Amino acid sequence: MTPWALRASLVLVLGCSDLTEGAGGVVELEIQVPAVTTVEVGEGLQLSARALDRDGNPVTVPISWRSSDPLLTIDDTGLAIGVSPGTGEVQAFAGSLASERVRLTIIARADTLVLVGDSVVVVAAEAPASAPLVVQLLSFSQPDPLPSRPLIYAITSPPDVGPHSVELPGGVLIDTVSTGPSGLEQGVTLNRVAGVPAPDTAIVQVRSYRASGADVPGSGQRFIILFQ
């Protein structure tokens, strides 16, 4: 998995360094953001904050959020929405006390995964591997390619029992790779295993996921490989 797809949380204590008391005795703001601060255009990323007093105890006061960039919006619940690709910053406020800025990366939304070329691939008897199993990620909001996005290739047939008869590059049955500069992946093939009869048919499924962890539409499409 690519690191930005992991949704663990990270707590950042941000506020005034001199611990000057604000309204209600607030001296600092504890900000909680996902460990990966990447959001796709049109998608949301939830942040949260709580106010603390000089002893580190929570203080019940209204907390608001503001964005300093038009690249994203954020409401008073801390839900940041990507507007256009780039880097944006947000802050939490408790009265006059402002947190340090939290930087978020906004990327184009991956709207669909497509198979490039025929989904049925024939492997000649003398060939050690199939032709490349090419897929591409596309965005409806921008014409540019989507590089460095995750793609998961998995052999779903034949089942993983006994000696493997076919494998992906590197001798694996499942592999996560990244799209290249053109938004394509062109290096994945299905390879025969030497000394083991190849099956008549094999199936390779391809998936991708968004920064939020949700599947990109079109995930689950399959290449059908016919061995001769």
**Whether residue 223 is found in the same domain as residue 181:** yes
Q: What is the CATH number of the domain that holds 184?
A: 2.60.40.10
Q: Which residue has the tokens 């990507």?
A: 82
**Whether residue 90 is found in the same domain as residue 147:** no
**Whether residue 138 is found in the same domain as residue 165:** yes
**Whether residue 82 is found in the same domain as residue 33:** yes
How many CA atoms does the CB half-sphere of 87 hold within 13 Å? 3
Output the six-digit token pair for 93.
């406020």
Per-residue pLDDT tens over the stretch 149-197: 999 999 999 998 878 999 999 999 999 999 998 888 889 999 999 999 9
Output the six-digit token pair for 57.
């105890």
**Whether residue 28 is found in the same domain as residue 90:** yes
**Whether residue 218 is found in the same domain as residue 119:** yes
Q: 105, 38 in Cβ contact below 8 A?
A: yes
Q: What is the CATH number of the domain that holds 49?
A: 2.60.40.1080
**Whether residue 96 is found in the same domain as residue 178:** no
**Whether residue 7 is found in the same domain as residue 103:** yes
Q: Which residues pair with 72 in a beta bridge?
A: 82
**Whether residue 101 is found in the same domain as residue 19:** yes
Expressed in percent and rounded to 5, the helix, strand and coil fractions of the chain are 5, 45, 50
Burial profile 132-147: b = 16 or more Cβ within 10 angstroms, e = fewer: bbbbbbbbeeeeebbe
Output the six-digit token pair for 50.
């709580």
Residue 17's pLDDT band, with cuts at 50, 70 and 90, is very low
**Whether residue 134 is found in the same domain as residue 221:** yes
Mean pLDDT of all residues in 104-121: 95
How many helical (H) and strand (E) elements, i.e. helices and strands, does the chain have?
0, 22
Q: DSSP for 76-138? A: TT-EEEE-SSEEEEEEEEETTEEPPPEEEEEE----EEEE-S-SEEEE-TT-SBPPP--EEEE
**Whether residue 87 is found in the same domain as residue 148:** no
Per-residue pLDDT tens over the stretch 70-79: 999 999 999 9
Q: DSSP for 182-201? A: TSEE-----EEPTTSPPPSE
CA dist., res. 136 & res. 152, Å (int)? 12
Can you give the pLDDT at residue 11? 46
**Whether residue 83 is found in the same domain as residue 182:** no
User: Given 86, 107, 128, which residue is the final one in a domain?
Assistant: 107
Report the domain count for the chain.
2
Q: Residue 220's domain spans which residues?
A: 112-227
Percentage of the residues of the chain whose pLDDT score is greater than 90 = 64
Closest Cα partner for 29 from 101, 94, 96?
A: 94
Mean pLDDT of all residues in 17-34: 68
User: Given 80, 107, 134, which residue is the final one in a domain?
Assistant: 107
Q: 202, 178 in Cβ contact below 8 A?
A: no
Mean pLDDT of all residues in 90-107: 91
User: Given 44, 79, 107, which residue is the final one in a domain?
Assistant: 107
